């Protein structure tokens, strides 16, 4: 595998041929009002977008329930991470592993020293606050993904508040990646950004609205940090199509509520089926599952190869730090798609634990 490989690599053939469990998108798909807005945006694409993104800032602030001065639109969640890190330019980056591989990639791009601290202790995911405090130095940037990618665990707000207190004592900074927070919104720290100059939040609309091809992300931060970020942001960050998606956020509450209920139900059912086949499934509050395959006596790579022959893609996580060859991540999709995945896993076999 490539060191910084991502899911969603469907372009080896017609993308529509794949059942893609390697990328974590809402199985309900892009809501109709957003699709209609995309069609209307074709006529607006002959103009340069509003360089100040005024309408998008208002819509995002309302949707996220933050003040306008605390939000900055970005062309995708990864660009939000890049922009935050190159603006802060910390002395070191502290990464809790296993973690989204792009954190390390960004550190290498900007030649920033990195320290890796494990999230997993005796098979359980937890933030070791004492270890973190021992490691943190002035001007460090600590990155925490909540809910964690690839683990799916979501940390309590009270625990993250303790972590933020530690960061402030050490005169460091905290970057929370909330790319999947829409699936457990009660875990977000967005209500703290207005009062916390040492914290940034990176987010994405890609997952909940199933629009990865329309790059839409955001940064939330203290007003002074947003001003600093604006000064280094390229113009025309949001295309006419991204702006069209954002303009529809105000009418999405029912869609989001339906999505969360569907995800919870299908996630529970998929966990049950996977567990019955011998897979160890880690607790998740996201729209994906982190799975240990060792009890099936097949590696994640073997399973991925066999499933690919059935036109199903899964995420082999063996290239993540602090994982092994048995680490795999699976999206939570529709009931029908999940049944197809389960049937394919049963067909490829492996040692079964009833």
Question: Based on the domain organization, do 78 and 199 belong to the same domain?
Answer: yes
Q: For the residues 176-203, what does the mean pLDDT come to?
A: 98
Structure tokens at 41: 């945006």
Q: For the residues 54-80, what does the mean pLDDT come to?
A: 98
Report pLDDT digits (tens) over 127-173: 999 999 999 999 999 999 999 999 999 999 999 999 999 999 999 99
Q: What is the pLDDT of residue 6?
A: 57
CATH number of the domain where residue 122 is located: 3.40.640.10
219 pLDDT higher than 60: yes
Q: How many domains does the chain have?
A: 2
Q: For the residues 76-81, what does the mean pLDDT come to?
A: 97
Q: What is the pLDDT of residue 17?
A: 81
Question: Based on the domain organization, do 48 and 95 belong to the same domain?
Answer: yes
Report pLDDT digits (tens) over 246-283: 999 999 999 999 999 999 999 999 999 999 999 999 99
Report pLDDT digits (tens) over 225-244: 999 999 999 999 999 999 99
338 pLDDT higher than 90: yes
- Cα separation of 94 and 114, whole Å? 6
pLDDT classification of 353: cutoffs 50, 70, 90: very low
354 pLDDT higher than 90: no
Residue 2 located in a structural domain: no
Question: Based on the domain organization, do 52 and 89 belong to the same domain?
Answer: yes
| 41 Cα distance to chain centroid | 27
């Amino acid at each position: 595998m490539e060191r910084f490989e991502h899911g969603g690599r469907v372009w080896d053939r017609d993308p529509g041929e794949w059942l893609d469990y390697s990328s974590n998108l809402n199985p309900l798909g892009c809501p109709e009002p957003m699709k209609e807005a995309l069609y209307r945006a074709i006529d607006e694409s002959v103009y340069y977008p509003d360089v100040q993104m005024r309408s998008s800032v208002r819509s995002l602030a309302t949707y996220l329930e933050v003040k306008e001065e605390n939000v900055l639109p970005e062309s995708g969640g990864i660009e939000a991470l890049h922009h935050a890190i190159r603006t802060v330019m910390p002395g070191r980056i502290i990464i809790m592993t296993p973690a989204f591989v792009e954190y390390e990639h960004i550190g290498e791009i900007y030649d920033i020293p990195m320290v890796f601290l494990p999230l997993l202790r005796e098979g359980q995911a937890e933030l070791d606050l004492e270890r973190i405090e021992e490691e943190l130095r002035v001007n460090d940037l600590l990155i925490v993904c909540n809910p964690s990618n690839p683990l799916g665990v979501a940390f309590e707000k009270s625990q993250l508040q303790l972590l933020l207190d530690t960061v402030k004592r050490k005169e460091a900074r905290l970057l929370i990646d909330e790319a999947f927070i829409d699936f457990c919104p009660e875990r977000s720290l967005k209500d703290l950004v207005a009062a916390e100059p040492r914290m940034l939040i990176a987010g994405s609309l890609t997952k909940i609205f199933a629009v990865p091809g329309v790059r839409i992300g955001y940064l939330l931060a203290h007003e002074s940090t947003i001003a600093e970020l604006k000064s280094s942001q390229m113009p025309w960050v949001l295309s006419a199509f991204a702006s069209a998606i954002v303009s529809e956020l105000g009418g999405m509450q029912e869609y989001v509520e339906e999505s969360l209920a569907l995800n919870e139900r299908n996630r529970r059912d998929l966990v049950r089926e996977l567990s019955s086949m011998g897979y160890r499934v880690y607790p998740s509050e996201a729209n994906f599952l982190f799975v240990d395959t060792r009890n099936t006596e097949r590696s994640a790579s073997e399973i991925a190869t066999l499933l690919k022959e059935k036109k199903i893609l899964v995420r082999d996580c063996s290239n993540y730090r602090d994982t092994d060859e048995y680490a795999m991540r699976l999206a939570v999709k529709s009931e029908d798609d999940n049944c197809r995945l389960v049937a394919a896993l049963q067909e490829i076999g492996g040692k079964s634990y009833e």
